[in-house]
Amino acid sequence: MSKTRVINIVCTECKPEDAEQFNKWYNEVHIPMLMKYKGIKKVTRYTSIQNEGKPRYLAIYEFDKKEDMDNMQSTQAFKDAIEEMNETWKGNMPDIKWVVAGEPIKVFE
């Protein structure tokens, strides 16, 4: 059985013409910068297969405990990643549609 973790889900959308650049940046720059924070244990990205009216991209960030997730925004890794994101996407920022965090209730396998 895999370890049950606290998750933070971020759903984003970008202009279709920015999709290639957005995904390359998210995978090769943004996630590696955030992963410098040792509290993040795993990040999985998804693309929506039911796109109608829903955000196209979904990232699930996994943490061993809630405190690790709560502390992330105060870390230098997070601050650097946000600063870099603002610089890269100035004036053309992908749209963060929603963010939600959750902790496990029960695991079914």
Q: What confidence tens digit (pLDDT) does each residue in 35-47 have? A: 999 999 999 999 9
List all residues 6 or more positions away from 56 whose beta carbon is below 8 Å from its beta carbon.
Answer: 12, 13, 14, 19, 47, 48
Secondary structure E strands in 1-109: 6-13, 40-47, 57-63, 95-102
pLDDT in tens, the chain (109 residues): 457 899 999 999 999 999 999 999 999 999 999 999 999 999 999 999 987 888 999 999 999 999 999 999 999 999 999 999 999 999 888 999 999 999 999 888 8
Which CATH code, of 3.40.50.460, 3.30.1050.10, 3.30.70.100, 3.40.50.300, is assigned to 6-101?
3.30.70.100
Domain range list for the chain = 6-101
Q: Annotate 35-61 with DSSP letters as a single string.
A: TTSTTEEEEEEEE-SS-TTS-SEEEEE
